[in-house]
Amino acid sequence: MDAVPTLTTPEALAAAGLIDDTHATALRAVAARYAVAVPPALHHLIRATGRDGPLAKQFVPSALELITAPEERSDPIGDHTHAPLRGIVHRYPDRVLLLPTHACAVYCRFCFRREVVGPEGGTLSAADLDNALAYIAATPAIFEVILTGGDPLVLSPRRLGEIVARLDTIPHVQVIRVHTRVPIAAPERITAETVAALKRTTKAVYVGVHCNHAAELTAEVRAACARLADAGLALISQSVLLRGVNDSLEALETLMRALLAARIKPYYLHQLDLAPGTSHFRVPLDEGQALVKALRGRLSGLAQPTYILDIPGGAGKVPVATPWLGQDADGRTVVSDPSGREHIYPPPASAET
Ligand SMILES: *Cc1c(COP(=O)(O)O)cnc(C)c1O
Ligand code: SF4
């Protein structure tokens, strides 16, 4: 059977009916600047959810990407300033990012690493991988290794399994985390071999699935996630708050419920990083705070993501939900509930004099 191809040019997107023919020319400049790939699993889904729908917005290039806002920057979260060697980003003492490849199965139009990801980014050379693993082995403070990129699950199961097996030999590494969009972009690639590769260790392995809209969780995607969960891999989610994709209470509530029902524990809801050409996706922080506050009143505690801002420039990630505690005029602690009503929280008796 002839495989349906991954679409990587505006002309191919037009031929598949995902954009108008008349837009293809204008989008050449976008595709020349930022990688494009729409794998087969997403073609039907994008058509089914509409040209202006939540899937099209995330994966189909737009001329709006050519607008770079003044606050946007090529290295939004300061990866470069924390890269001691190729393939490693080490910002927090106890955990490192290991980036074995810059390629992804799909290129998100809002990607925070869009200046470096892409098919030409290539995979880490054998020598660079050796050096990166030697750095991890020589740094006892590293408790957790986070495979990201790019998308580590585009590696062949053999290469992925080798990396996992080599991390397994480093005693101080106790947790391996893999951040990926492959279960959504190409669920057919989550095979028994992929699962076996991730299981070449006795360490705890967490898979962080990047998912921004409930429509991404098709039956095939949920089956791929179930293959991972059934093998004993813990699943967590990462979502990005995106204008026109999930910037409503209903969209977020549906997404978090769908994730939880697929055995994926909602982990982070990211404030969009300041990557170039993404301002049309950005939701102001106060709007994000109001949405996240309202979720608390609607969803189980298990389904609550932490709303996170990666401080531009590389100062790290911080939670940015509205604080629930405040003080009244008399200095008493006031706690607000999800509906906005305020309640006095009494101090311990011994503190009252
Ligand atoms: C995001 C990130 C991590 C992981 O942060 P968590 O809060 O543990 O999910 C680790 N290192 C770097 C450099 C990061 O950007
Ligand atoms: S999968 Fe992740 S790294 Fe790849 S394009 Fe999307 S956001 Fe960027």
**Domain annotation for the chain: domains and CATH numbers:** 10-66 (no CATH), 80-319 (3.20.20.70)
Give the pLDDT band of residue 351 (cuts 50, 70, 90): low
Shortest-distance atom of ligand 1 to CA 90: 13
Residue 55 dihedral angles phi and psi, to the nearest 5°: -85, -45
Ligand 1, CB within 6 Å, residue ranges: 77, 82, 89, 91-92, 95, 97, 146, 317
* Ligand 2 pocket check for 103: Cβ under 6 Å: no
Mean pLDDT across the chain, nearest whole number? 96
Cα(166)–Cα(133) distance, rounded to whole angstroms? Answer: 8
Pocket probe for ligand 2: among 117, 153, 242, the residue whose CB has the most ligand atoms within 8 Å is: 117
What is the distance in A from the centroid of ligand 1 to the CA of 83?
13
Q: Is 322 exposed, middle or buried (0-12, 13-18, 19+ CB in 10 A)?
A: middle
Atom 3 of ligand 2, nearest CA residue: 150
Q: For residue 350, is pLDDT > 80?
A: no
Average pLDDT on 299-311 reads 98
Atom 13 of ligand 1, nearest CA residue: 91
Return the structure tokens found at 277.
């050409």
* Beta-ladder partners of 266: 237
Work out the angle at residue 14's Cα, subtended by the Cα atoms of residues 13 and 16, and round it to the nearest 5 degrees: 65
pLDDT the model gives residue 155: 97
Name the percent of the chain in helix, strand, coil, to the closest 5: 40, 20, 45
Element spanning 12, H or E: helix 10-15
pLDDT the model gives residue 1: 43
* Ligand 2 pocket check for 147: Cβ under 6 Å: no
Lowest mean pLDDT among 86-95, 203-212, 338-347: 338-347
CB neighbours of residue 330 within 10 Å: 7
Q: Do 308 and 269 form a contact (C-beta atoms < 8 A)?
A: yes
Cα(327)–Cα(58) distance, rounded to whole angstroms? Answer: 41
Q: For residue 309, is pLDDT > 70?
A: yes
Cα(320)–Cα(309) distance, rounded to whole angstroms? Answer: 6
Q: For residue 2, is pLDDT > 80?
A: no
Q: Which residues contact 289 (CB under 8 A, 6 or more apart)?
A: 307, 320, 321, 322
* Ligand 2 pocket check for 242: Cβ under 6 Å: no
Lowest mean pLDDT among 60-64, 147-151, 233-237, 349-353: 349-353
Tokens 């930022």, located at residue: 34
Q: For residue 246, is pLDDT > 90?
A: yes
pLDDT the model gives residue 349: 82
Cα(313)–Cα(316) distance, rounded to whole angstroms? Answer: 8
Atom 8 of ligand 2, nearest CA residue: 111
pLDDT tens figures, 12-34: 999 999 999 999 999 999 999 99
pLDDT tens figures, 207-238: 999 999 999 999 999 999 999 999 999 999 99
pLDDT the model gives residue 285: 98
From the list 52, 30, 103, the residue with the least C-alpha distance to 278 is 30
Q: Which ligand is nearest to the CA of 281?
A: 2
Give the pLDDT band of residue 180 (cuts 50, 70, 90): very high
pLDDT tens figures, 117-157: 999 878 999 999 999 999 999 999 999 999 998 999 999 99
Shortest-distance atom of ligand 2 to CA 179: 2
Q: For residue 353, is pLDDT > 80?
A: no
Q: For residue 198, is pLDDT > 60?
A: yes
Active site residues: 91-92, 95, 104, 108, 111, 113, 273, 310, 317
Q: Which ligand is nearest to the CA of 270?
A: 1
From the list 117, 10, 121, the residue with the least C-alpha distance to 63 is 10
Return the structure tokens found at 178.
């893999």
* Ligand 2 pocket check for 90: Cβ under 6 Å: no
Atom 1 of ligand 2, nearest CA residue: 181
pLDDT the model gives residue 352: 55
Q: Do 168 and 137 form a contact (C-beta atoms < 8 A)?
A: no
What is the distance in A from the centroid of ligand 2 to the CA of 151?
7
Length of the chain: 353
Atom 7 of ligand 2, nearest CA residue: 111
Shortest-distance atom of ligand 1 to CA 267: 9
Atom 7 of ligand 1, nearest CA residue: 317
pLDDT the model gives residue 27: 97
